[in-house]
Structure 1
Amino acid sequence: MLHDHPEVAACVVRMQLAADFEMLRNGYATARTWCGSLGLPPHAVDELLALYATLGAAQHEIIRRTEMPLSGIRTPAPRPGVRPG
């Protein structure tokens, strides 16, 4: 099925990337409270937040870069000798 319909594979990849990004956002939003309940020192919490920010920025860039190729998959390629519209 994925061989015949690459847009399905692309959709699955995009959904996974979006879920991963949302997980990072949630982790960042709750890290200070969660780490504080563990009694971690402030510098350790700051390092964790910096890690979440770095990973989130990298994931966001991956999502941004996949948008153009996915739009190409959804758009049918022109066929030789056939004029669009």
Structure 2
Amino acid sequence: MIDTDVPAPDGGGLLPRLLTIREVADILRIHYRTAYRLVKDGAIGAIRVGTQWRVTEDALHEYVARGWRHWKPEPARNRPRQCKLPL
């Protein structure tokens, strides 16, 4: 796996780093079928190269950022910490 972007062959900038579905699954710590489903459903932007899917790092970062924006912590419960027993 290459750690940096690759120069384009025509010298017109850098090509984005492409990840396989298994690499995406490893990064997100999910099953590879779940990662495949996210790509097929359009949740993670990807391109098809032959019969295989490739995900750019930017698309993966965007997916994670969208998840953080929608996540909200649970509100604190207003319960007493001690249980009162009947006497």
Larger of the two Rg values belongs to structure: 2
> TM-score under structure 1 normalisation?
0.29
Flag the structure with more relative contact order, 1 or 2, with Cα contacts below 8 A and sequence separation at least 6: 1
- Which structure has more helix as a fraction of its residues? 1
